[in-house]
Structure formats: structure tokens, C-alpha cells
Amino acid sequence: MISKLLSMIKRPSTINQRFKRLAMNDPLTGLPNQRTLVATLDQELARSEQYHHSSSILYLDLDDFKNVNDIYGHSIGDAILREFTGLIRSLLRRHDTLGRWRDEEFLIILSETGKEGAQVIVERIHATLAGYSFSSVKGLHLSHLSCSIGIATYPTTALLREQLLTAADRNMYVAKQQMH
């Protein structure tokens, strides 16, 4: 009887934790969602201002990912997105934040990182993707996946969140145009 009561007491908190996790994370990748990224970025910018250090954001867009979904289907596209996020996460430091911004767009928040440090990470991502064959789906070896990345750095690029996001997005489109 007591164990049954205890399980009933524990169950609502477990359900609440599950709802909270769903509200904060992208259901496909498990990464922080846009709302969580905005809150994290606000915290990072406040910390950067307080301690007078730089922070950078990277805005990533998977190039021509619509073709992957059109050719292989959305379930394979979803598997590739999950594999991609695991790969990118492995290239980052523990205190950096990778999140899903929307669809095939991702945001990385690089704490205490200036533009030069951000550029090193961009080059690492490009080099890793160039030599990587996606194999999350049996029999599929997609090796031509690339992404365009825009960088924006606090305080040199902008001081406000929206300005940083706009600059990173714009720089991503510049990078995308340079690839084609």
C-alpha cells in the first residue's frame, strides 16, 4: 500500500519533468529548441557583459537538405539530422551549446570565444563534414553533406541578441553564396 502511494506521488513529478523536457528540447534531436537557445544566449550575453569577454554564435544551415528529404524520404532525413547533431556536438567543448533553431538550421553558442576561436571551430566542422560518410541508415553512405555557417561575436559584431542573430544569419547566407 505504501509503495503504491509513493509511486503515485513520484509519477506527477516524472510527468512534469517529461513535459518540461519536451518544452525545452527539440523532439527529433533532443537538442535545446529555439526558446531555450534564446534564454541561453541571453544568459551568455549577460555573463559576457559582466566579465568583459567575447562570446560568439554560429548559425549553421545544412546545404540542400531538402534534396536529402526528397530523394531518401523524411525518416532517413531525420536519422541524418540526428547523426549530424551528434557529430557536431562531438566537435564542441562541454560548455558550448548546440541547439536546433528550425528545420535544418542550428545555432551554436560559444562561451568566452572571440571571432578567431569561432573561425577555428567553423573550419573544424567543415573539415569533419568533408571527410564524413553518414551511415545512420543501413546501406546509405551520404558523403556530400555540407553546411554554411555564419559567425557573429559579442561585442565586436553587435551588443544585442537580435542584432547578433541577424548578423549570424546574414553571414551564413554570405557563406552559402560563396559555396555556389
Q: Which residue has the cell 562570446?
A: 55
Which stretch of DSSP H or E encloses residue 153?
Answer: strand 147-154
Question: Which residues are designated catalytic?
Answer: 104
Determine the residue type at 29: T
Integer CA distances (angstroms), 161 to 36, 43, 96, 104, 115, in order: 14, 10, 17, 21, 16
Strand partners, 99: 107
